[in-house]
Amino acid sequence: EIVLTQSPGTLSLSPGERATLSCRASQSLSSSNIAWHQQKPGQAPRLLIYGASSRATGIPDRFSGSGSGTDFTLTISRLEPEDSAVYYCQQYGSSRTFGQGTKVEIK
């Protein structure tokens, strides 16, 4: 099973700052089959990024994804208060697994 390790566990930043979230896979992911999902408190998750770097429909361009192989990054270029959430990476190349999540807090 491919294990995904996310860091940091919690990120506390001010509005307008840049957030950088990391996801490391235990094995190389061919075709960059990595997605990022956002889960706000009390809500279901929603897809943000797929294929490591493609934004899902309706996702603002301040969200971007990058990476390949075993190392992937989600960047939120200018944080807004509504970006307060837990962000999960998910691989879909070999079965499906999720990282443990990174909580983003807005000061």
Name the residues that contact another protein, by CB under 8 A. 1, 33, 35, 37, 39, 44-47, 50-51, 56, 86, 88, 90, 92-93, 95-101
16 Cβ contact partners less than 8 Å away, ≥ 6 residues apart: 78, 79
Whole-angstrom Cα distance, residue 17 to residue 79? Answer: 5
- Report which of 18, 2, 13 is spatially closest to residue 76, judged by C-alpha positions: 18
Shortest Cβ distance from residue 33 to another protein (Å)?
7
Shortest Cβ distance from residue 26 to another protein (Å)?
15
Name the residue nearer to another protein (CB basis): 13 or 98.
Answer: 98
For the chain, first and last CA: distance in Å? 37
Shortest Cβ distance from residue 16 to another protein (Å)?
28
Shortest Cβ distance from residue 28 to another protein (Å)?
16
Signed CA dihedral, 11, 13, 16, 17: sign only: negative
Name the residue nearer to another protein (CB basis): 13 or 47.
Answer: 47
